[in-house]
Copies of this chain bind each other. A is one copy, B any other.
């Protein structure tokens, strides 16, 4: 696998999980500029709090990530644990503690076993390699069934590599999403930050397995300038933005595709709303409806569940709306075309990826969102 210049990776088992990898590291040969996007949940992992503090510096040299434990609801003690891990790793790398970023994912509410991680640092560091992306990607997995890696090459030289973990959990573990991007171009933090936020908004912010929000969500983007390519013109920035959106789109798709128990990927599209708030609200309500999601699991052409879900919002969309399953119009001006049920059932049975469209015919705002169905397997996995 081709990877950006100047990054070394590794992933090992340190004993948080029984056998599989649970501790990953990425080291940048240069101090890398770095920007981040974090969960807006009021309760945050202690690891995330330390990471947010360190990222203020604007650059970093190393990233350490553990799976199997979220280090959340662990109070002062959890904060000190996270800080100790950074300090010990910094010492071994002969860098500053604040140059280490970290993330944790796994169960909430249990102390993070500090010593297991610290005692494994030597082993972790002894075999870092630019070709060990897959080891890092598998070390950050929780109940993902496969590692998630995506990349884009830039015409102006340089590349972007992305690694993510998805929303999966085994009882009693908690779903979290982590995503890390690495590029070897030179780009200012302010441009990187703006580009990243725009890309996240149309990719990671458009997927939802269960409308639950993690305490640990962390997305970091490292840019280490190793390639000698500067992203500084409007044209180059546009290309970079397209590439980073592409990487995030691929990863988001992999995450939703690997959603717990999912048997379907559903694209919910809301068209011609009065404003984008309403469009987003409606798309999220449909994507969050357990009744709608259950019907999708059963390939059941039950658009009554879309109507009742949208109606429960009381956002005043009136009676003129249409609903489509794929290209099949099933509701026209608020009236059900029930004779389409057979056709729609076949559409649902025949497709793994399906489109649901609500056309409000009120204005110009559109919104889309990817979600999954809700299966008995999802409940079983999370029970």
Contact = CB atoms under 8 A, between A and B. Distances in A.
A127 interface: no
Nearest to A332: B75
Contact of A70 (B212, B297, B304): B304
Contacts of A111: 338
Q: Which 10 A-B pairs have the closest CB atoms?
A: A108-B304, A298-B383, A109-B336, A376-B376, A43-B311, A172-B302, A294-B382, A213-B312, A42-B311, A75-B335
A113 to B, nearest CB: 12
Interface in A320-378: 331, 333-336, 338, 374-378
A72 B212 contact: no
Give chain A's interface residue range (CB within 8 Å of chain B): 35 or more
A308 interface: yes
A289 interface: yes
Interface in A169-222: 169, 171-172, 174-175, 210-215
Contacts of A75: 333-335
A20 interface: no
> Could you say how many copies of this chain the assembly holds?
2
Contact of A214 (B72, B300, B308): B308
Interface of A: 40-44, 70, 72-75, 107-111, 169, 171-172, 174-175, 210-215, 289-291, 294-295, 297-298, 300-305, 307-317, 331, 333-336, 338, 374-380, 382-383
B108 A215 contact: no
A316 B40 CA distance: 12
Given A70-B304, A304-B70, A309-B212, A314 B174 contact: no
A214 B335 CA distance: 17
A380 B374 contact: no
Contact of A213 (B42, B311, B374): B311
Contacts of A73: 304, 307, 331, 334-336
Given A213-B309, A297-B379, A378-B379, 20 more contacts: A42-B313, A42-B314, A43-B307, A72-B304, A73-B336, A74-B336, A75-B333, A108-B336, A171-B298, A172-B298, A174-B304, A174-B305, A175-B291, A212-B291, A212-B308, A290-B378, A291-B382, A295-B382, A376-B379, A379-B379
Contacts of A312: 40-42, 212-213
